[in-house]
Amino acid sequence: MAHKVLDDLFHDTLKDIYYAERRIVKALPKMARAAQSERLREAFEKHRDQTETHVERLQQVFELIGKSARGKTCPAIDGIIEEGEEIMADFKGAPALDAGLVAAAQAVEHYEIARYGALRQWAKQLGMKEAAALLDQTLEEESQTDELLTQIAESEANPEAAA
């Protein structure tokens, strides 16, 4: 078995989140179209634009480490997105649809937060200050999106689903 070090893990995880972000860019327009609430639709559209920026930042990190920007299949994000698609199909037109969409979107956000948190710490450990700053910026935006989704769930999606 090859001797793998933190640098290898960093690069491997970077490829994972790069794949995930590109999949998310494609999934968010579908979620926006499915959303019944205008506020939720706008949140998904805004996050799609942010996610495109996240992809660009990841490309910068790849450049900083002298590697080509390539993703590797991420079964975790594929599964989370598939669950969101099931919610859209199973709850189409139902009062609980938006609550389900928020929950699916938060599953995505929590995955991203976990990945970006680890990558940021590893970049710091490896002395990659510029990469750590880029990753931290994205981590902050992912956390803000998660907070916005919680607000939407608490103020409208969950109450409407329960009515």
Residue with tokens 């949140």: 43
Amino acid 91: pLDDT? 97
| Predicted local distance difference test score (pLDDT) of residue 163 | 87
Domain boundaries, given as residue ranges, for the chain: 6-162
Each residue's pLDDT tens digit, 24-53? 999 999 999 999 999 999 999 999 999 999
Superfamily of domain 6-162: Ferritin, core subunit, four-helix bundle (1.20.1260.10)
For 82-92, write each residue's pLDDT tens digit.
999 999 999 99
pLDDT tens, residue by residue, 89-131: 999 999 999 999 999 999 999 999 999 999 999 999 999 999 9
